[in-house]
Structure 1
Amino acid sequence: MAFESLTEKLQRVFRDLRGKGKLSEADTKAALKEVRMALLEADVNFKVVKQFVKSIEERAVGAEVLESLTPGQQVVKIVNEELIKLMGSETTEIKMAQDRDITVILMAGLQGAGKTTTAAKLAGKLKAKGHRPLLAACDVYRPAAIEQLRVNGEKVGVPVFSMGSGVDPVNIARAAFEKARQDHNDILIVDTAGRLQIDEQMMEELGRIKEALRADWTLLTVDAMTGQEAVNVAKTFEDKVGVDGVIVTKLDGDTRGGAALSIKAVTGKPILFVGMGEKLSDLEQFYPDRMASRILGMGDILSLIEKAQAEVDEAEARRMSEKLKKAEFDFNDFLDQMKQVKKLGGIAGIMAMMPTAGASMPEIDESHMGRVEAMILSMSKEERANPSILNPSRKNRIARGAGVDINEVNRMVKQFEQMRKMMKQLPGMMKSKNRGGRGGLGGLFGKLGF
């Protein structure tokens, strides 16, 4: 989970600060030393860490904080503000070209960073916003790249232009632009060749394609898992070719997150999107303020609501909401909800966006979700629709059918009852917090059918 290690360490520091009624300058400096170590261990660039901690110290070691009634909270507020500033302050969105009908986006990056998949993810995201993108396969050196782009383009419903592997990529790019003009596409996304390492030939070819198409955006794809190497790659591409923004992939698999925290400060270029999973829908707009909130354990409810709005069927959510009000939630509905949770990135993905206070929710081991599904599918239609009839003999039969121990069936049924009680209470709780509206958490749980 992205930033998991860093979040845990920072929360420990802030918990100690909040426990003090009053802060001395020594207390603050000791806490900032811990913050420095946490950032370095998260693989944040050491120059970035030095400047970041210095900025916090200049603001935190002052009368306004030290004499405050809630000094710990004041320090957290300052850290949050400095984190946002570090990652770019404002969200950068792709703007359409003003001087022509087609906006050209050039995808660059090293081999293995996920550039080709990200090109398709971006095309799908832009199509969902009402655009008409065309993908161009200009990676002629990796045999599987053209086919990979074609398959992924088909999955997101975006056409792919290719001329095979024996053609100059510059000529393919030019022909793709003409194709986009003929078919009235408003965006051309060009997947260029990656290399195992930066070389002059790659840079020269990239420069020729960029010049030939007058690219509006050159987006660099970097792998979060490579840590500071991703920052070095971004700096080199900026120096040699020039980039307009960065897409950080595999952020969901990097518990440290140092690359995401360093790129803007080192290169001066904003992060536009982050890859948070392997599915073609797992590309998120990068919001510095929301990411800072996640890092500090404050959650990211807005992004979760937006994801729910995009993934969850409105009519199904209303139907489920009505069933909950009438206490009619059954195992069929539970199966449906499991599918919805998977669409939102699984329980771990959802919990990563929830404030830390959400830890009081019933625990469900995500690794056992497949077995839970098997247990429910081993029930009869009557048992799924009416959980109250599950007696010991029925549970034994279900356990045999699912290939699990009877204790696991008992545990699952108990968790289901806990969840049913919790979800029955949530709509009223959330409505009161949101004054009966559908925004905030109320809107999220409404979308999930809770």
Structure 2
Amino acid sequence: MKKTDYLSTLFVGIDIGSRTNVVSAIDFSQDYFIRMKSIPNAQGGAEQLESMIADVLEKNHQFQYLIIAMESTGFYGVHIANYLSTCEKLAAFSTHVYCLNPKEVKGYKKSFNSLDKNDGIDSFVIADFARVGRISVKPWRGSQYLALQRLTRHRMHITECIAREKTYMLNNIFLKFSEFAMLGKEEHPFSNKYGATAEAILTEYKTNEELVSTSLEDLAAFISSKSRGRIADPQETARLLQTAAKNSYRLDKCLYDPLTTSISCSFNCISSFEKELKAIDAAILRTVRGLSETDYTVMNSIPGIGKVYSAGILAEIGSIRCFPNDDALAKYCGIVWRQNQSGTFEAENTPMNKAGNRYLRYYIIEATGSVINHCPEYKAFYDKKFAEVTTHQHKRALALTSRKFLRMLFGLLDKSQLYSTEKSR
């Protein structure tokens, strides 16, 4: 929207609550047209709000545009944002609905002197935030993107549940079989501590003494059976397991059975989550096909990014046209760094600002990790950044590589070009 258009725009601010919403509407001169009106956060309230706004627009012919802003307060504002962005009465006024970052609105409110804290005042502050042109986020995109977003965000929720369960289970594994939990990747008998063979060892052998007393041949045969022949040297794996069992702490016999039961339950939870993860991935692929086919094709052309990560990024970005440059996209994502400089002093330690969209940041960083394994250019860049410091090496290198990945992603989407080695350079 051009700056001159703001003079003919009605600015509506909504303070979202679980049961009621408070609404204020002002023009560019800060004159009230709706003053801190409370309406129910329900279908009837949404229809009432639509009629109120439409009535103001019809009676005051100076308005040609409509901007509706609200704070992003979880799922309480989803229905009202979706309703107002698609209602027919307001469509003629180029309606844009925005869900704002509460931190930005809170910071803007501090510029007012002696304002009270109540829902009515907050609705005015939100409307005024829109009036001064401080909105930097993209408009609400409607039901189709919301459907995909619900799936991709739920996928992230499931992966967090799996990671949390594995961490919890590892505590119990350390109590039962301390060396199994503590051995490094190169020394460990199994490449996957949470695989089917590891599960069999941890749940079918009740005590470490039982594992040590089993003959090497029998243990090797057990490992070969549980791994379905996928372990190349079951004899060596059996030897490593028995050595780890001998070096582990001994427990009272009364502890082994409860620990084994807890570990078994954790394995069952992880298995269920992984099954649901496959189902959610299939649902994501079904939903994404009807949205931004060109953007989806462009992202899938990048080696290693994958269809699910592409869908997750697309669900959070929407249209790349919402961002003027890759810096704006990085800021929305939260992959930017706070500058710490004063005079001639420039701090070396600059923490990453994670105030952006955490879901988009998750999918960008996960996609970058996969791209590093498929693109030599990104692997070389990651290795270079990894070697530059001695602390936080992986996190720092991955974050910086993600920033490089964002630049390339923005360029490809902005020009609707498929990935190629030359273009990436």
Would the TM-score normalized by the shorter structure come out above 0.5?
no
Of structures 1 and 2, the one with the larger relative CO (CA 8 A, separation 6+) is 1
Of structures 1 and 2, the larger Rg is shown by: 2
The normalised TM-score by structure 1 is 0.27
